[in-house]
């Protein structure tokens, strides 16, 4: 009998949804960052922040998943995700879970607003997790690290 390969994820909750981020993409978890809103931006973009002189977009995963999600522009935590070892973006989280091993994800059972941001879903005995696909998301959104100018309003806290 062939065994399923497992992968390690950090699970987290934002609003009423549970998500799983691949551990290989996890850069760091930060408490309550100051976000600079972008007027006219889509609801999935919570704002911009500067971390160690790099400007990063911060996204609301609930608004990426569902168009009708009530977008919240702040959260207790921001999970910074890296692609190829470079921080590319952050995701808002209200609760940080623990690292777990999951089997491969299945296709999403619901339609996602920006389906390319997700790698499917994983259902356990207790809850369903929507799996983030940071590499696909960063590539589709053309997210590249940008250094903040020294006199930037993003550096003023």
Please give the Cα distance from 106 to 8 (Å, whole number): 16
pLDDT value for 71: 58
Please give the Cα distance from 87 to 56 (Å, whole number): 8
pLDDT value for 142: 83
pLDDT in tens, 13-63: 999 899 999 999 999 999 988 899 999 988 889 999 999 888 999 999 998
Residue 40 contacts residue 29 (beta carbons within 8 Å): no
Least confident of 4-13, 66-75, 121-130, 138-147: 66-75
For domain 11-141, give the CATH number: 2.40.50.180
pLDDT value for 157: 43
| Band of residue 6 on the pLDDT scale cut at 50, 70, 90 | confident
Is pLDDT at 139 greater than 80 in this prediction? yes
Please give the Cα distance from 95 to 110 (Å, whole number): 23
Is pLDDT at 149 greater than 90 in this prediction? no
| Band of residue 108 on the pLDDT scale cut at 50, 70, 90 | confident
Least confident of 26-30, 87-91, 110-114, 120-124: 110-114
Residue 80 contacts residue 25 (beta carbons within 8 Å): no
Domain boundaries, the chain: 11-141
Is pLDDT at 114 greater than 50 in this prediction? yes
**Which pTM was predicted?**
0.85
């Amino acid at each position: 009998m062939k065994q399923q390969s497992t992968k390690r994820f950090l699970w987290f909750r934002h609003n009423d949804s549970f998500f799983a981020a691949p551990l290989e993409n996890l850069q760091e978890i930060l408490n309550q960052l100051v976000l600079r809103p972008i007027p006219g931006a889509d609801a999935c973009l919570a704002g911009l922040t500067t971390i160690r002189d790099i400007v990063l977009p911060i996204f609301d995963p609930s608004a990426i998943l569902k168009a009708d999600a009530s977008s919240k522009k702040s959260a207790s935590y921001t999970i910074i995700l890296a692609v190829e070892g470079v921080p590319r973006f952050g995701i808002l989280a209200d609760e940080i879970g623990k690292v777990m091993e999951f089997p491969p994800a299945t296709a999403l059972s619901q339609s996602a607003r920006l389906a390319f941001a997700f790698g499917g879903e994983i259902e356990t005995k207790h809850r369903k997790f929507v799996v983030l696909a940071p590499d696909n998301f960063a590539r589709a959104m053309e997210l590249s690290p940008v250094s903040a100018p020294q006199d930037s309003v993003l550096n003023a806290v």
